[in-house]
Amino acid sequence: MSSQGRIEPVGVAAPRIQPAPGPRRSTMAALRRHPAIARLMVLAALFLLWELAARWWIDPDFLSPPSQVLASLGELFETQGVPAALQITLWELAVAFAISVVIGLAVGLTVGLSRFSNRSFMPIILLLYGTPQITILPLFILYFGIGSASKIAFGVSHGVFPIIVTIVAGVQNIKPILMTAAHSMGASRWQIFRWVIFPHMIPSFFAGMRLGMTGVLLGVLLAELYVSTAGIGYFTTLFTQNFDPTKLLGLVSVLAAMAIALNETVRRAEVYFGRWRTD
Amino acid sequence: MSARRDRRDRRLSRGVQIGFLLGLIALWYFGTAVWGINQILLPNPINVWHELEDVIRSGEFLPDLQVTLTEVAVAFVLSCTSGVTLGYLISRSHYSIRVFEPLLAGAYSVPIILFLPLYVLFFGLGPWSKIALGTTISFFPIALNTIAGFGYVDRIFITAARSMGASDFQMFRYVLLPAALPVILTGLRIGFTVALLSILGSETIASLAGLGHRIVHLAEAMETPRMFAYIAFAVVIAALLNTVVTSLEQRARRR
Amino acid sequence: MTTSDVAIRIAEVSHEFGEPGDAFHVRALADTSLDIVRGELLCLIGPSGCGKSTLLNMIGGLLLPTAGSVEVGSQPVRAPLPREIAFVFQENALFPWCSVLENVKLGMTFQGVPKGEHEERARRSLEAVGLKDFMKHYPAQLSGGMRQRAALARALSLQTAILLMDEPFGALDEQTRMILGEDLSVLLSRSDKTIVFVTHSLGEAVFLADRVAVFSARPGTIKEIISVDEPHPRNPNFVTTEKFGRLRNTLYGLLHDEIRKAVEQSAMAGPLS
């Protein structure tokens, strides 16, 4: 877009345009063809900036350079209770996700397949989906205690709604012409569900799972950070109070990596199962 | 489906919804007043109502509300300016979109709430750690939507304007900006909502003031009726703000 | 014909997209030459992918040929010439956030027409295309045919000597095309613009054009140029005459094999090409 209105001037009898040979042109061309390399370079530049800022400009009580964080990862994992905390968190995520999927699928199919249920319950579901659940986090702790149960519950509470909503949409969005075609070929109601509605709904289901995973991550991590006696929340508080940015950054990085891995897995599943989609 | 059956069904659905909500409220009331559920776990709705009246009448909510709203406002202004600017700059060439957009989308997929302890370490428990988190989280949808808005303007509009002799500035003012505006406004709305939620969240987790903190404070003091009142209050405020922002967006898009 | 009669001179123009060896390398045009006479309406017709739109974009300065040159008024074309050349595109190039009237006025803003003249010129051209009552409407509120009328009005208001039309009626149904074609013929008979018109439709080409340039399949080159000696404005009954039928059949004969070839080419490219 920056070159609107201006075309490179060429002679009257324009010769064929050839790229000039030479090392500089070919690196530029390679970069152009593979934006992934440019992305890596951007990331490297950011890490470099972080490294320099932490070494030269910022008080070491507040920020540690990435090199130091990486080096002390081993020490982090040897800290009493940290590996256990990570395991607990992963377990909480897995259980919350599984429960969300089961409930989400059940409610989603029930509401989606019946127009009456849809009209009756969808507004309630959307209302619940839209409320800022963070305000009732203390209530969850009050009801479920400070152990894993409250974390799982809060995770489910965040993860179940996107799954319901996307499944309902997936069921409702079938083009009527597909149903008409099946009907005209003599399909029974069960056959229509099994061979038309259900396969159509699968990509939406996986899209819902992707959003559900994001929700579960948010819910579980929020609850952990709020109150935790042996989970990661305990350690983030500990490292913060002890002004230990190295360990804190290490822990946050590990958690971030975990989150990325989980999100990416679900996203790939969504892409794989949604291959036939054109949108 | 015939029109009459449709109307009847709609009324029936409406009835189910109202019945559901009334049933919940009835359960709540009976549970606390008659069946003796622990008041600390589930307070009597009447008590909650009284506490709410008290909170509003005494104006006790004002300082906390002010803190929260200020944090949201500052965070939103910061993320708007940085998000739109960076988004526009990135959108100027297809190549830079291909390089930067996946990076931004990838960063957004990490639960940024994880950064809260870092910000608390850096800024302390005061408002700036919340503002920092709110800015960080709402930056991404704004930047991404700005890129989408400017970067995916239908080529035919740009070609047509070029063919009619539009200058770079005319192209921006008369073609790119109006074309991109609806998408950008959606991004701003999402950014605002996300900033509000994340600030309420971070106030809950680590703060000395603000609505989120007030709720936690009351929970720890076991003053459950008042806590419920504040929760209701916060939910209403959030809903109000979201409605305002959404209607602003729709009004601007309808042009 | 003398050089002063030639509005557009296309000399041995070729065009390639991408480099040989690229996945998307394509030879769109091969050695095409053509002289377009001032004041004539020339149709470019050919199978899909034959390069006729590419050639049109080169005439209009939106694209530079990889070989050869295009001259307008003896000057080589290197960039859009908004004062000499106006476009009407196939897709909807009307800005959806502007009303019809605002769209036409915006075109003049881009070209550099003094603000004072905008209103008058815009109204005149919108009346000429039959949209007098729809000036305040937005494109989304109009039918496809009306939108293309508005696009035409926008181009006409720029008062250029040359008008380039890239399948302007391509997205419309047959009946709308018919009416628009007749109206276009009437409109253009009143001016002395040079018009280059790209189309897929044999009937449209014979009805509108003074000459029809027939393209071969990709890489495109001009196979033959047919003359239609018929005065403007064309009578709607022209379509029913024997002469029309003969010319249309000639075009069919020239094009049929090329179309088949083009279909095979796109099939060879494979799915999702």
Residue C138 contacts B where some CB pair is shorter than 8 Å: no
Helical H segments across chain C, by residue range: 52-59, 100-111, 115-128, 144-157, 174-189, 202-208, 242-268
- From the options 1.20.120.430, 2.10.109.10, 1.10.3720.10, 3.50.50.60, give the CATH code of B58-254: 1.10.3720.10
Q: What is the pLDDT of residues A197-216, one digit of tens each?
A: 888 888 889 999 999 999 99
Degrees to nearest 5, angle at CA C262 with C256 and C267: 130
Q: Across A159-173, B135-149, B211-225, which has the greatest mean pLDDT?
A: B135-149
Q: Which of C53, C88, C95, C104 to mutate to test the interface with B (most CBs of B within 10 A)?
A: C95
The pLDDT assigned to A185 comes to 83
Residue B173 contacts C where some CB pair is shorter than 8 Å: no
Nearest chain C Cα distance for residue B252, angstroms: 12
The model's confidence at residue C218, banded by pLDDT at 50, 70 and 90, is confident
Which residue from A10, A15, A19 is facing C78, i.e. has the nearest CB? A10
Rounded to two decimals, the ipTM of the complex is: 0.87
Nearest chain B Cα distance for residue A236, angstroms: 6
The pLDDT assigned to C270 comes to 55
Q: Which residue has the higher pLDDT, A14 or A246?
A: A246
Residue C268 has pLDDT above 80, yes or no: no
Beta bridge partners of A91: none
Cβ(C156)–Cβ(C128) below 8 Å: yes
Residues of A in contact with B116 (CB under 8 A): 225
pLDDT (mean) for A55-79? 89
What are the structural domains, with CATH classification, of chain C? 3-84+161-268 (3.40.50.300), 94-159 (no CATH)
Q: Which of C12, C13, C78 to mutate to test the interface with A (most CBs of A within 10 A)?
A: C78
Instruction: Nearest chain C residue to B174 by CA: give it.
Output: C106
How many Å apart are CA A112 and CA A171, to the nearest integer?
Answer: 6
Residue C273 has pLDDT above 80, yes or no: no
Residue B18 has pLDDT above 70, yes or no: yes
Q: What burial letters (b/e) apply to A55-83, b meaning 16+ CB within 10 Å?
A: eeebeeeebbbeebbeebbeebeebeebe
The pLDDT assigned to A24 comes to 62
Residue B104 contacts A where some CB pair is shorter than 8 Å: no
- The amino acid that residue A159 corresponds to is G
Write down the mean pLDDT value for chain B. 91
- Please indicate whether, in this complex, the C-beta atoms of A14 and C64 are within 8 angstroms of each other: yes
How many Å apart are CA A235 and CA A82, to the nearest integer?
Answer: 7
How many inter-chain contacts (A to C, CB under 8 Å) are there? Answer: 27
State in Å, rounded, how far the first CA of chain C is from the last one: 43
Which residue from B17, B95, B111 is facing A217, i.e. has the nearest CB? B111
The pLDDT assigned to B213 comes to 94
DSSP symbol at C99: -
The model's confidence at residue B196, banded by pLDDT at 50, 70 and 90, is very high
Comparing A192-196, B181-185, C121-125, the range with the smallest average pLDDT is A192-196
The model's confidence at residue B44, banded by pLDDT at 50, 70 and 90, is confident
Residue C189 has pLDDT above 70, yes or no: yes
Contacts of residue A279, Cβ cutoff 8 Å, sequence gap at least 6: none
Residues of C in contact with A6 (CB under 8 A): 79
The pLDDT assigned to B37 comes to 75
Question: Which pTM does this prediction carry?
Answer: 0.83
Cβ(C13)–Cβ(C29) below 8 Å: yes
Residue B92 contacts A where some CB pair is shorter than 8 Å: yes
User: According to the 3-state scheme, what is the secondary structure of chain B?
Assistant: CCHHHHHHHHHHHHHHHHHHHHHHHHHHHHHHHCCCCCCCCCCCHHHHHHHHHHHHHHCCCHHHHHHHHHHHHHHHHHHHHHHHHHHHHHHCCHHHHHHHHHHHHHHHHCCHHHHHHHHHHHHCCCHHHHHHHHHHHHHHHHHHHHHHHHHCCCHHHHHHHHHCCCCHHHHHHHHHHHHHHHHHHHHHHHHHHHHHHHHHHHHHHCCCCCHHHHHHHHHHCCCHHHHHHHHHHHHHHHHHHHHHHHHHHHHHHHC
Nearest chain C Cα distance for residue B160, angstroms: 6
Residues of A in contact with B17 (CB under 8 A): 120-121, 123-124
Q: Which residue has the higher pLDDT, B9 or B71?
A: B71
Residue B154 contacts A where some CB pair is shorter than 8 Å: no
pLDDT (mean) for A99-106? 95
- Please indicate whether, in this complex, the C-beta atoms of B212 and A134 are within 8 angstroms of each other: yes
Give the Cβ contact number of residue C6 at 10 Å: 18
- Hey, which residues 83-102 in chain C have their CB within 8 Å of chain B? 83, 85-87, 89, 91-93, 95, 97-98
pLDDT (mean) for C62-83? 90
The pLDDT assigned to A14 comes to 33
Per CATH, the number for A74-273 is 1.10.3720.10
Residue C159 contacts B where some CB pair is shorter than 8 Å: no
User: According to the 3-state scheme, what is the secondary structure of A14-68?
Assistant: ECCCCCCCCHHHHHHHHHHHCHHHHHHHHHHHHHHHHHHHHHHHCCCCCCCCHHH
Residue B18 contacts A where some CB pair is shorter than 8 Å: no
Which of C8, C30, C43, C55 has its CA nearest to residue C226?
Answer: C43
Cβ(B146)–Cβ(A252) below 8 Å: no
Q: What is the pLDDT of residues C219-229, one digit of tens each?
A: 889 999 999 98
The pLDDT assigned to A6 comes to 33
The pLDDT assigned to A212 comes to 94
How many Å apart are CA C263 and CA C266, to the nearest integer?
Answer: 5
Kindly list the partner chains of chain A, i.e. chains with 3 or more CB atom pairs below 8 Å.
Answer: B, C
Residues of A in contact with B201 (CB under 8 A): 134, 137, 222
Write down the mean pLDDT value for chain C. 89
Residues of A in contact with B118 (CB under 8 A): 245, 248-249, 252
Residue C79 contacts A where some CB pair is shorter than 8 Å: yes
Residue C11 has pLDDT above 60, yes or no: yes
The pLDDT assigned to A102 comes to 96
The model's confidence at residue A276, banded by pLDDT at 50, 70 and 90, is confident
Residue A57 has pLDDT above 50, yes or no: yes
Query: Domain extents for chain B?
Result: 1-37, 58-254
Peptide bond into A9 cis (omega under 30): no
Contacts of residue A229, Cβ cutoff 8 Å, sequence gap at least 6: A146, A147
Residue C26 has pLDDT above 90, yes or no: no
pLDDT (mean) for B153-175? 93
Residue C18 contacts A where some CB pair is shorter than 8 Å: no
Query: Domain extents for chain A?
Result: 24-57, 74-273
Degrees to nearest 5, angle at CA A33 with B103 and A277: 65
Q: What is the pLDDT of residues A214-236, one digit of tens each?
A: 999 999 999 999 998 888 989 99
User: Which CB contacts under 8 angstroms, 24+ apart, belong to C144-147?
Assistant: C144/C171, C144/C172, C144/C176, C145/C172, C145/C176, C145/C179, C145/C180, C147/C92, C147/C94
Residue B255 contacts C where some CB pair is shorter than 8 Å: yes
The pLDDT assigned to B54 comes to 93
Comparing C30-39, C171-180, C264-273, the range with the smallest average pLDDT is C264-273
Nearest chain B Cα distance for residue C80, angstroms: 5
The pLDDT assigned to B201 comes to 93
Which element (helix H / strand E) includes A214? helix A198-226
**Percentage with pLDDT > 70 across chain B:** 99
The pLDDT assigned to B41 comes to 83
Q: Across A265-274, C2-11, C128-137, which has the greatest mean pLDDT?
A: C128-137
- Please indicate whether, in this complex, the C-beta atoms of A12 and C76 are within 8 angstroms of each other: yes
The model's confidence at residue A176, banded by pLDDT at 50, 70 and 90, is confident
The pLDDT assigned to C3 comes to 57
The model's confidence at residue A15, banded by pLDDT at 50, 70 and 90, is very low
- Please indicate whether, in this complex, the C-beta atoms of B121 and A141 are within 8 angstroms of each other: no
The pLDDT assigned to B1 comes to 56
The model's confidence at residue A35, banded by pLDDT at 50, 70 and 90, is confident
Residue A28 has pLDDT above 80, yes or no: no
The model's confidence at residue C6, banded by pLDDT at 50, 70 and 90, is confident
The pLDDT assigned to A89 comes to 93
Residue A16 has pLDDT above 50, yes or no: no
Residue A279 has pLDDT above 60, yes or no: no
Exposed, middle or buried: residue C252 (CB in 10 Å: 0-12, 13-18, 19+)? exposed
Residues of A in contact with C67 (CB under 8 A): 14-16
The model's confidence at residue B112, banded by pLDDT at 50, 70 and 90, is very high
Nearest chain C Cα distance for residue A6, angstroms: 7
The pLDDT assigned to A215 comes to 94
Q: Which residue has the higher pLDDT, B221 or B2?
A: B221
How many Å apart are CA A148 and CA A95, to the nearest integer?
Answer: 10
| Residue corresponding to tokens 């106030």 | B203
The pLDDT assigned to A18 comes to 41
